[in-house]
Amino acid sequence: MKSALKALALSAALAASAAVANAETPVYLDDTQDIEARVQDALSRMTTSEKIAIIHAQSKFSSPGVQRLGIPGIWCTDGPHGIRPDVLWDEWEQAGATNDSCVAFPALTCLAATWDPQMSALYGKSIGEEARYRQKNVLLGPGVNINRTPLNGRSFEYMGEDPYLSSVMVVPYIQGVQANGVAACVKHYALNNQEVDRDHVNVLVDDRTLHEIYLPAFKAAVKDGGAWAIMPGYNKYNGDHACENSVLLLDILKGDWGFDGVAISDWGAVHNTEKVATNGLDMEFGSWTNGLNWGASNAYDNYYLAKPYQKLIEEGKMDTKDLDDKAARVLRLIMRTEMNRNRPYGSLNSDEHYAAARTIGANGTVLLKNEGNLLPIAPTAKKVLVVGENAIKMMTVGGGSSSLKVQHETLPLDGIRKMAADKGIEIVYERGYVGDVTGEYNGVTTGQDLNDSRTAEQLIADAVKAAKDADMVIFIGGLNKSDHQDAEGTDRLAYELPYNQNTVISALAKANPNTVVVNLTGNAYAMPWKDEVPAIVQGWYFGSEAGNALADVLFGEVNPSGKMPFTMAAALTDYAAHATADPEMYPGVNGDVTYKEGLDVGYRHTDKLKPARVNYAFGHGLSYTTFELGQASLSTKELTQDGTVTVTVPVTNTGSREGAEVVQVYVRDVKSTLARPMKELKAFQKVTLKPGQTEVVKLTLDKNAFAFYNADTKQWEVEPGKFEILVGTASDNIAARLPLNITAKNLAWKD
Ligand code: BGC
């Protein structure tokens, strides 16, 4: 009897489960199956409404999955320097969580300045672990827009001026993040090079420049890094917003580069349903509209890719092909991330993450000048005066969407004090100038009171007095994360350092010959005091470990090895975009900005100036030791067919400390039909050497190093003829020029 009852119960249960299965068979979740099969399986079970739901936001940073099928949603987070604190569902105000404080990693300019892909891998791994622990699936970063103008408020979120450097550096970051089952969303695709009129500015640029300067880092992110997401930006290109731009999204990204991930709109960057539906965008975030008026709350159903899109489909005005493609991509993203059961758990605020932030910060610090070996701070120094607002200002709050809520931030002054105490050195502090005393972003406050009621004259007088009484002065200034400095939403208004800092520096230099200038910025700036001070250090927004990373370098615990990721020109007009003060080139006229300078970005322009109008060149950076490059050679003098050439060069540490040098290889096309830059970076390698040690560096160049983009044939081409391979340690410090003859014919290929 008992067994009969059991059998009855079992068959009832089976019948019930069959009924459920018939109604809605659960999605095949077995993650041993191929993702594509699972994507198609899930897609085949979804209704049009469900597909519409997953391609747009449901809150400020999330989109729903498909609850009915057990498919989880997506949670995005900024990016790119740390995991942003949580905001409310439909408001930008803080959610007030107690578990969303993070480690702030150095700004991406600093990462680029390490010229070390291993640092990039460490960065990606660490920030990816923080994102994973915070249960985010998409990290809105890294940023790889090219530094076209030093006025761009967002340069600090990017990797400098050179397409090759940023292409190399972006790849390990992405791979590190994605190893955690978190998607990197590379931004802002493409040509998002200024903040003035950022929502609508229409960029006009020739095809060759687009492909040679502004696209390579995105291409590397997609093709080499395998990025699972990309963020089309706010700006327009050739008349269409990036999110609605079929050339950028369909032809190039999804066509030429074969991108299989998700194109996620920048927040509020979508403007038109038909265009966005058909031109390659996959997900819409941040729109703030009810379809008619700007400013409706909980307007998600009215997003361009929500009900308006569904209506067009239901009315038969649009087919479902694009919708299916978008939904499939979103499903693929979910399966790569949230539904990947094998991904690690991540970690937050770990010792390893602080150590990573510190290491990357110290390794990205650039020693620009060091006359008389003033640095590192000598153990014999008894009293060191620190001057400047950036020594005491928290810099992790502010700057726009990259603003963070940190668990800890060691200020420069505190880091220096701590290390000095260990060495028996007395540190005194003077403010020198008052810059910006605010410290709030989106409800996160620094809690610092930086007010000082002294007049500018008094501040200088006090600093000068203290400088006369010190063995050494360390000025720590630069820019900050306030509007019109290094901040999203606004560009800088001038190339000069703000807040009277030039006067302060000159006064200090007069008062004490042992004055070191340390500037923390995300951009280049004027240095009228360059010859007045013996030592200059370029620092960045270092994040949580600012003080410790800086102290490591100033006291010589870490031997600086950073190299400039952009050109520090003498004046704003030494950047081609500003050379003629042509408003059509910057900031644009009637909504158009025209990149008339073409390829002449950064050193590609200043290389042509006679005399050189550069304070510190791209690739420049000193060390506390010295290096010498030995005789460089090429594996061949002639390339007769598609092949490679290897550059070999011995590097010797000729000083008395361990240190690292970056061997840089530039290529010059000696004679070409089309005008080409005087030189272009095509390979580099950082080597760490003990005193007296020599290492033979070998760097291989393939056809990509010699090619230009032919806008007529829409392909990369190598023109046969004479080339020069330039080997050096900075773009203005070339030790060897090796001739190479390319006789290979018909070297041409598409992306
Ligand atoms: C920024 C993006 C950011 C997004 C979400 C936008 O304003 O341009 O970089 O990821 O907001 O915060």
Whole-number Å distance, alpha carbon 231 to ligand 1 midpoint, is: 9
Structure tokens at 734: 């070339």
Alpha carbon of 627 to ligand 1 centroid (Å): 42
Interior/surface letters 67-82, b for 16+ CB within 10 angstroms, e for the rest = eebebebbbbbbbbbb
Q: Give residue 19's pLDDT.
A: 39
Distance (Å, rounded) from C-alpha 619 to C-alpha 501? Answer: 26
User: C-alpha distances in angstroms, 623 versus 44, 160, 492, 526, 729?
Assistant: 60, 21, 31, 23, 11
User: What is residue 254's predicted lDDT score, i.e. its pLDDT?
Assistant: 98
CA of 234 to the centre of ligand 1 (A): 9
pLDDT at 223: 98
- Does the beta carbon of 78 sit less than 6 angstroms from any atom of ligand 1? yes
pLDDT, residue 293, reads 56
- Strand (E) or helix (H) holding 705: none
C-alpha of residue 136 to centroid of ligand 1, in Å: 15
**pLDDT at residue 23, rounded to an integer:** 45
Q: In what order do the strands lie in the sheet with 715-718?
A: 708-710, 715-718, 747-749
3-state secondary structure of 251: helix
Segments of the chain scoring below 50 in pLDDT? 1-23
Q: Looking at the annotation, which residues are catalytic?
A: 266
pLDDT digit string (tens) for 517-555? 999 999 999 999 999 999 999 999 999 999 999 999 999
Question: What is the DSSP code string of 625-686?
Answer: S-EEE---EES-SEE-SS--EEEEEEEEE-SSS-EEEEEEEEEEESS-SS---S-EEEEEEE
> Would you say the CB of residue 129 lies under 6 angstroms from ligand 1?
no
267 lines ligand 1 (CB under 6 A): yes
CB 564 within 8 A of CB 621: yes
**pLDDT score for 30:** 60
Residue 188: asked if its preceding bond is cis (omega within 30°), the reply is yes
- Looking at residue 297, what DSSP letter applies? S
Give CA–CA dist 318/309, Å, rounded. 8
pLDDT for 31 equals 61
Residue of 59, 84, 267, 490 with the most ligand 1 atoms within 8 Å of its CB, for mutation:
267
pLDDT in tens, 90-147: 999 999 999 999 999 999 999 999 999 999 999 999 999 999 999 999 999 999 999 9
Does the beta carbon of 61 lie inside 6 Å of ligand 1? no
* Local structure of 622: helix, strand or coil: strand
187 touches ligand 1 (CB under 6 Å) = yes
Residues 6+ apart with CB under 8 A from 185: 76, 79, 138, 139, 140, 141, 227, 228, 229, 230, 231, 264
Is the minimum distance from the CB of 597 to ligand 1 under 6 angstroms?
Answer: no
CA of 401 relative to ligand 1 center, distance in Å: 5
For the entire predicted model, the pTM comes to 0.95
